[in-house]
Structure 1
Amino acid sequence: MELDEKETLEETVFTNSFIHEGIDYSAYSLLQLAGMAESEITGHSAVELQDAMRLQLIVIKSQLSSYADNNMEKLSGLLNNLYHVQKFSGDWKAFFKVKNALLSSVLSRRKGVPISLGILLIESLKETGFNANGICFPSGFIVKVDLHGEAIYIDPFNGEIVDLLQLELKVRGQLGNHARLTPDMLQADSSETIIKRYVNVLKAAYIQAESIELALLCSDILLRLDPEDAFEVRDRGFLFQQLECYQLACNDFTYFIEQCPEDPIVNLLKRQIKQMGDELTAQVIH
């Protein structure tokens, strides 16, 4: 990155801020919130995403018009339409790709990861009358439907209904064989928690794609939602470091060390700060 580009990046204040600490989450659906975040990061129109989803819902509602009540039969019909008729599915072959995280891409390709497919599934369920919420489950995003007082759990990656035994197996696969399913793991998460999870998944996908500037935009959203998150500040420091914005990286690493002095990564960060300090000194000399 050229010096003037770095200076611009360092001085920029992101003004197109739809997602911020004081946002009223109750005023928006999960899809709207995720679309707003995506719009900030990519420049894609959030309205276009809403329009595409509206067309999708017209198809779903027409297929479910014969069901008079929200029951298991109607739920099965909705899942069948999405995952078998329209062929929505999880993409194992390119799991960590950006195209599997961005909702606009998932809606057009009909392939994605659990969090993106889950947000689309929740929107479909709520718009057809179901009481649905998301769970940031240890092994991946899960959708919870309250059906006349009974909790139904759906894996949005494949559209299958899973029972408690299957969920415990997922927990043990993720956290180790001694881990067990606990009631708190089955509690519905807030819109804020889910949006943070979604933006974190986007950030990871952009980092893998080496789109560091876009990953930095994701980090900016996360820090607007929680400005004192020391671990996110640390992660932003690594992004600044990759962009050769050494002073900003040093500032972020220093903040993390002050907030988390006992963290195992502190010694590494101190070495990184010294190396970047030497680099900054060399830049001044030359």
Structure 2
Amino acid sequence: MTREPTALPRGNLDFTEFAAREDEDLDLLTGALLIARDARPSLDFAGVEAKLDALSSPLEALSLERLSDQAEALALELSERYGLSGNKADYYDPDNSFIDQVLERRVGIPISLSLVYVEVAQRAGFRASGIGFPGHFLVRLDGEAEHLILDPFAGGRVLDQRDLEARLDQVGWPRKVLQQGLLDPSPLRLILARMLTNLRSIYLKRGELPRLLVVLDRLVALIPASKEALRDRGILNAELGAPEAARADLNEYLERWPNADDGEAVRRVLNRLGKLNTRDLN
């Protein structure tokens, strides 16, 4: 299945330029590649796309129409033949979030495995999309009048109503949300934000603050309305010894959300930054 070319070669695209696009102009693979490039600046964008094309070719040749056949073929090709699986042994390895590493190592987490499934399925002519299910990202395959939900982390298993209800029970969500749009395809911007949020948690836990700062930069660009990302970036800049950047973020935070619950705490950080700046004058 031939893809329309992006406005710029993916490898030459800046994340901020990408994030500024209208939602309908976003491309999931491009966003995922740009996120992965932050960890490996020499990332071979074309190589990743070629691998996805190669994985989709056998599926496209089958010309499958029934959803159950599409789901079975996807699981067979990606999970059994190619060997994609969930990285249960090292779930919080940041490489699990990067599509190039997922394809190379053949392990990942629910959202990155789902990304591979969606990209391969779409190339094969299937109607596939990502589902931001609570606590565990999933894939949706659509037909003319029905859909199936797949779990790539579980080898591409098709989930029925009882499976989905049980998963909601595990995370403390009411079952009724299944009828309230929970299984609708997730907007691409929110999928990318979820990938970045995973990395934010990982880098924070590992104490990798420079990498955390890059992730927060990406979140602020991708979701300008994210007050938490802007605030956290300001506080992190203060910790990393960048007071001007910290003040800019925290002042903007207070201007945009003057009644924020943590406003007083943010003002205290700004006061400390002001005092530090005064002492540095000579």
Q: Same fold (TM over 0.5)?
A: yes
- 1:32 aligns with one of 12, 30, 33: 30
> Is 2:76 the partner of 1:73?
no
Residue by residue over 1:83-141, the C-alpha shift from the partner in whole angstroms, topping out at 9 and shown as x without a partner, is: 12222111123222211111111111111111111111100111112100112222221
The alpha carbon displacement at 1:18 in A equals 5.8
| More deviation, 30-39/118-127 | 30-39
**Aligned with residue 95 of structure 2, among 84, 99, 108:** 99
Which residue of 1 is the match for residue 129 of structure 2? Answer: 133
Helix, strand or coil at the partner of 1:140: coil
Q: Distance in 2 between matches of 1:166 and 1:64?
A: 29
User: Partner of 1:121 in structure 2?
Assistant: 117
Alpha-carbon distance change, 22 to 260 in structure 1, aligned in 2, over 3 angstroms = closer
RMSD, aligned α-carbons: 2.8
Q: State whether residues 19 and 221 of structure 1, in contact with CA within 8 Å, keep that contact through their aligned partners in structure 2.
A: no
Aligned counterpart for 1:62 among listed residues 44, 58, 62: 58
Q: Hey, what does 1:112 align to over in structure 2?
A: 108
User: What is aligned with 1:146?
Assistant: 142
Structure 2 distance, partners of 1:19, 1:138, is 30
Identity %: 22
**Residue identity in the other structure for 1:232:** A
- Give the secondary-structure state (helix, strand or coil) at the position aligned to 2:91: coil
Post-superposition Cα deviations, 1:6-35, rounded to whole Å, max 9, x if no partner, equal: xxxxxxxxx944644442555564223311
Task: Show the counterpart of 1:171.
Answer: 168
Is this contact kept in 2: 1:19–1:36, CA < 8 A?
no
Cα shift at 1:260: 3.2
Structure 2 gap segments, 5+ residues each: 1-12
Which has the larger displacement, 205-214 or 134-143? 205-214
Distance of aligned partners of 1:177 and 1:132 in 2 relative to their CA distance in 1, 3 Å threshold: closer
Q: Does 2:39 align with 1:44?
A: no
Q: TM-score, normalised by structure 1?
A: 0.80
Change (3 A) 1:125 1:53: same
Q: Is 1:184–2:181 an aligned residue pair? A: yes
1:246 to 239, 243, 248: 243
CA distance in 1, matches of 2:40, 2:54: 27
Secondary structure (helix, strand or coil) at the match of 2:192 reads helix
Mean Cα displacement is larger for which, 73-82 or 55-64? Answer: 55-64
Question: TM-score scaled by structure 2?
Answer: 0.81
Residue among 194, 197, 203 paired with 1:197: 194
Match of 1:267?
Answer: 264
> Does the aligned pair in 2 maintain the 1:91–1:111 contact within 8 Å?
yes
- Seen in structure 2, the aligned counterparts of structure 1 residues 104 and 18 have a Cα distance that, compared at 3 Å, is farther
